[in-house]
Structure 1
Amino acid sequence: MKRVMFISSTGGHLTELLQLEPLFQRFDASLVTEKTKSNASLKEKYGKKMHYLTYGTKQHLLSYLFIFAWNIIKSFCLFVKIRPDVVITTGTHTAVPMCFIAHFFKKKVIWIETFANSTTQTEAGKLVYPIADLFIVQWESMLELYPNAVMGGWIF
């Protein structure tokens, strides 16, 4: 059974990722997101399959730089622990290091560009697009910005 890591930032990106929950049972799945009060209960639902990174926001740039660096280290440790064959993400900054780690170890990276953007690229999407094995967009208009992407339709 393939080990699949589902990873995203908290908030809307996590809401999108959780739409893929039917896939969780088809694989040896792990779920990774930032730990916040709003998603702490996911640990009760997913148990040992649930993992957290530190929450950070770019609005507090100085502390965010330290949190991002810490999350890179933590992502590497989680990658070694879980050893996923595939990383699937709905973004954003929290998932970027894991995508690069997976790519470095020649594992599959599947990026689903957020539903929230229908006319502009996300910063994280721009970074991961060149290394993604499969880059999925939810709006047909996004194919102009990501010409090698696949139109997947809305995740909701």
Structure 2
Amino acid sequence: MKILAIASAGGHWVQLLRLKPAFEGHELIFVSTKTSFKETVKGHKFYSIPDASRWNKLKLIYSLICVFKIVFRSKPNIIITTGAAPGLMGIIAGKVIGAKTIWIDSIANVENLSMSGQIATSIADKSYTQWPDLSNSKVTFNGNVLS
């Protein structure tokens, strides 16, 4: 099974790395917004994409194109993300190629799902929150990544 794991820098990346043992025995490809993160996933393919947010639309579009290229070339069976914008882009690209998609909203989102998480919940095959109070019929609580 080929798994593409994608997240932006900071806590999103840290939480994604905490999931790495769950993917043992599978081909794992990482995507993030910092080239230096390649060192944290030695032995796995790693792609760097431009960081972008809703505040810079042109950069956001360029980043989306980069994510689509990676997804179309690597053809993963599963795409998993802990957010934010790059993860949402990965979920969208995954749906286009027919991959299974999993969104795990950041533990930092205590009172509400993130904006990307709210969008991803309507697209992803599975969506998870790390807070029991945020679970509902579309979003599952199954513990947290950071403990």
Contact 1:43 1:50 in 2 (8 A): no
**Total equivalences in the alignment:** 146
Contact 2:7 2:84 in 1 (8 A): yes
TM-score under structure 1 length normalisation: 0.85
Q: Secondary structure at the match of 2:5?
A: strand
Contact 1:8 1:17 in 2 (8 A): yes
Task: Determine which structure has more spread, i.e. the larger CA radius of gyration.
Answer: 1
Does 2:96 match 1:104? yes
> Corresponding residue for 2:143?
153
- After superposition, the Cα gap between the structure-2 partners of 1:114 and 1:45, relative to the gap in structure 1 and judged at 3 Å, is closer
> Corresponding residue for 1:15?
14
4+ residue runs over 4 A deviation: none
- After superposition, the Cα gap between the structure-2 partners of 1:117 and 1:102, relative to the gap in structure 1 and judged at 3 Å, is same
Listed as ranges, the gaps of 5+ residues in structure 1 are: none
> Corresponding residue for 1:85?
77
> Corresponding residue for 2:110?
118
Once the two structures are TM-superposed, the CA of residue 120 in structure 1 deviates from its matched residue by 0.9
Once the two structures are TM-superposed, the CA of residue 91 in structure 1 deviates from its matched residue by 0.6
Once the two structures are TM-superposed, the CA of residue 45 in structure 1 deviates from its matched residue by 4.2
Residue by residue over 1:54-90, the C-alpha shift from the partner in whole angstroms, topping out at 9 and shown as x without a partner, is 12355xx3xx212111111111110122110000000
**Distance in structure 1 (CA, Å) of the matches to 2:73 and 2:24:** 20
